[in-house]
Amino acid sequence: MAFFVIGDLHLSLGTDKPMDVFPGWEGYLPKLEHNWRTLIAPEDTVILAGDTSWAMNLPDTHADFAFLQSLPGQKWLLKGNHDYWWTTTRKMENFLQTSGFDSLHILHNNTCVVGDMALCGTRGWPFDDVAAQGEKLMAREAGRLRMSLQAAGDAPRKIAFLHYPPVYPGASAQELVAVLREFGVTECYYGHLHGKSIRFAVQGEVDGIRYRLISADGLGFCPYKLD
């Protein structure tokens, strides 16, 4: 059994918003599928760290989720800033169940525990959004991250996944980082950054927490295997 993570798949099999028009994304879907099937076995677990589908509502995710269902492994989905289809957990879980997507699960205010591993996370929020609404959303995301980590109980190894970067060179989302430290998290994976922004990603240890960017193009469309 192994654990993998990748974010920002931006699937558009049921909508007309192909990512192939962007530099570096040409032919990305066959490449992603090849890498996925090469690396991942049915018993493995994969975290999808947000921006999974371009669908605007839940029914329109069907083609994208059918593609994910066809791939090996159990997949846990975080919310990203472009996941406009996202709704209540109950509605999403009912949709997955009635559609037969039994390898897809929602990671939201909860935890995926496998053995001694607790996979926790939330969307996060841009730390430089200092407007009143931004501060409110950041506080809410910090609360959701705390809830996810609390659900991990006494799991020996807690790993955090975020969509938005919690750190940039010389700056951080202090509310989120404080929660990571509170629960002794030493590994945090995040997405959201693409193209030229990838060069500014924090990759490595900062104050005892090891960060890594796992956006799809940042990984060359190859799921990242956790140590």
Chain segment 166-191, per-residue pLDDT in tens: 999 988 999 999 999 999 999 999 99
Spatial distance between the Cα atoms of 136 and 147, rounded to a whole number of angstroms: 17
* CATH at 180: 3.60.21.10
User: Average pLDDT of 211-220?
Assistant: 98
Instruction: Report the number of distinct structural domains present in the chain.
Output: 1
Quote the distance between the C-alpha of residue 20 and its chain's center: 21
Number of Cβ within a 10 Å radius of residue 221: 22
Q: Which domain does 52 fall in, by range?
A: 3-225
Q: pLDDT per residue over 116-152, tens digit each?
A: 999 999 999 988 776 768 889 999 999 999 999 999 9
Task: For residue 53, give the nearest of 43, 45, 61 by alpha carbon.
Answer: 61
Let me know if 67 is exposed, middle or buried by CB neighbors in 10 A (0-12, 13-18, 19+). middle
Average pLDDT taken over every residue of the chain = 95
Q: Are 120 and 149 in contact (CB under 8 A)?
A: yes
Distance from C-alpha of 60 to C-alpha of 181, rounded to nearest angstrom:
38
Written as six digits, the tokens of 1 are: 């059994």
